[in-house]
Structure formats: C-alpha cells, structure tokens
C-alpha cells in the first residue's frame, strides 16, 4: 500500500523517504499518557514516513509569519490493526509532531482516511505549537469511483499550489473538507472558481447537522409535551434548512 500511495500522490523524488518509523521512537518522545502508549503498541501495525516536503526536496519556499512556521511537511502512512481507536490515534499523531502532518491512516479492508491539522506558534513560547482544527475524510477505498477518486486526483503534488508550503498544506486541508460534500451530493466538488463558496456551504451544513443532533437529544430528554413540541419545531426547521443548503450545494460547480 505505501508504495502505491507514494506513486498516487506523486511526491517529488527528492522528498521520498519510504522508511519505517519505529513505534518505540514515538512512545519515548515524551508527553504521552500510558493509554496513548498502549494505543501505539496495540492498535498500530506499522508507521511509515512516506515523504518530507521542504524547500530542498520540493523547491517550494517555506512560509514564516508571526503565527505560522511552515518549513517542513511530514507525510505519514499509519497502518492500523482495527477501527476501534481511529479518532484517538489521528488526534495523537497530529499532537506528537510539531510540524504539520499529512496523515494517511490505513484501515483493515484496504480502507484509507486522510487527515490534516494546521499548527500555529504558541504566542507565549514560539518554540511550541498549538494544533488547530483537525480535518479528516470518511474511510474510503483507493478504487472508489466518482467521489474519492476525484479527491485523490486533486491532491497529487503537481496540482497543489507552488507559492509556499503553507498554501500547499492549506490546499490539502481544504481538499479534505471539500470531500465532506460526497456524503451530501454523492461526488467530490472540485471547482476552483467556487471553492470558497463550497467550503462555506459545507461548513454551514455540518453546523446544521450538529444542531439537529443537539435538538434530537434535547427532545428525547424533554418530559413535558410543550417542551417536546418546542424541540420538535426547532428540529424540523433545521432539517428544512439543511435540505435547502444541500440542494444549493448541488447547483454549485
């Protein structure tokens, strides 16, 4: 799988590492709880460094500002033994490394999850970083057709911005967010003209999804009839709004 991924994403030759990263090396890096160390040994089959993207290996400039320092992007492939701790391990891997990580999680059944997380400098100590919001795809197969095939095509090295490493990573980060449209409209929306609008629509739809889940929980907890009806009306309004937003998303190209 790792060789297929290197070929699929078209990492530059100079950036390719393609070596095992020992689990002990991570476990001994410090700051991990005993439970997290247990995840590393019990849930993970192998960890591979696929590539390291920096100025020397890509000819793409680093990016430095008061908030961000993008000098190197680490591309990792982590093969898991089960699907029981996927979210915890994604969070763990983004937290372990100070550099931004393009994380590829391999699941049983040859399923994959792609994940990214922006890192910004700690304003009180610029030798430390703070992880921002993690973005991950749904599990998919490399041979999946219309949806994730387009995502993979949009994420190959030659199709990403060459201006600097921050913009390159941010493009991958947004590609992953764009993949969330697949569950709503059945395909990956790859428009570059309306990219920001699509991202905004997806974010709003996901906010409505969370709102609907919250209203459903409150309705189940309610005891009085009037209270139940109040949550029911809020739930229906959000469902109608979400349906409208999905229809609008389908029209964007």
| CA distance linking residue 202 with residue 225, whole number of Å | 34
pLDDT digits (tens, 9 = 90+) for 4-46: 999 999 999 999 999 999 988 887 776 788 888 888 888 999 9
The dihedral built from the CA positions of residue 48, 52, 58 and 64, taken in this order, carries a sign that is positive
Residue 145's pLDDT band, with cuts at 50, 70 and 90, is low
Q: Who wins on pLDDT, 47 or 110? A: 47
pLDDT score recorded for residue 29: 72
3-state secondary structure (DSSP) of residue 198: helix
Q: What are the residues facing 106 on neighbouring strands?
A: 79, 112
Across the range 178-183, mean pLDDT stands at 93
Specify the pTM: 0.90
Neighbours of 81 (CB within 10 A): 13
| CA distance linking residue 247 with residue 239, whole number of Å | 12
3-state secondary structure (DSSP) of residue 50: strand
| CA distance linking residue 78 with residue 5, whole number of Å | 12
**Domain regions of the chain by residue span:** 2-143, 195-251
Averaged pLDDT of the chain:
91
End-to-end C-alpha distance for the chain, whole angstroms = 33
3-state secondary structure (DSSP) of residue 225: helix
| CA distance linking residue 55 with residue 47, whole number of Å | 24
How many CA atoms, within 13 angstroms, populate the side-chain half-sphere of residue 56? 4
Is residue 198 within 8 A of residue 178, CB to CB? The reply is yes
Q: Is the pLDDT of residue 127 over 90?
A: no
């Amino acid at each position: 799988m790792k060789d297929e991924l290197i070929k699929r994403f078209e990492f530059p030759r100079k950036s390719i590492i393609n070596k095992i990263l020992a689990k002990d090396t991570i476990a001994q890096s410090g700051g991990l709880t005993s439970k997290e160390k247990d995840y590393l040994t019990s849930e993970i089959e192998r960890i591979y460094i696929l590539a390291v993207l920096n100025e020397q290996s890509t000819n793409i400039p680093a990016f430095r500002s008061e908030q961000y320092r993008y000098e190197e992007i680490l591309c990792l492939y982590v093969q898991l033994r089960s699907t029981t701790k996927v979210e915890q391990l994604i969070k763990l891997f983004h937290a372990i490394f100070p550099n931004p990580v393009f994380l590829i999680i391999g699941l049983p059944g040859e399923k994959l999850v792609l994940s990214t997380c922006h890192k910004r400098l700690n304003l009180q100590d610029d030798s430390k970083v703070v992880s921002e919001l993690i973005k991950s795809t749904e599990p998919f197969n490399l041979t999946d057709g219309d949806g994730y095939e387009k995502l993979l095509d949009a994420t190959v090295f030659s199709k990403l911005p060459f201006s600097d490493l921050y913009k390159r990573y941010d493009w991958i980060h947004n590609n992953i967010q764009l993949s969330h449209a697949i569950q709503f409209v059945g395909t990956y929306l790859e428009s570059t003209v309306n990219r920001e609008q699509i991202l905004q629509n997806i974010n709003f739809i996901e906010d409505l999804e969370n709102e609907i889940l919250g209203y459903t929980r409150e309705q189940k907890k309610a005891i009085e009839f009037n209270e139940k009806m109040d949550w029911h009306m809020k739930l229906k309004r959000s469902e109608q709004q979400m349906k409208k937003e999905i229809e609008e998303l389908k029209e964007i190209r």
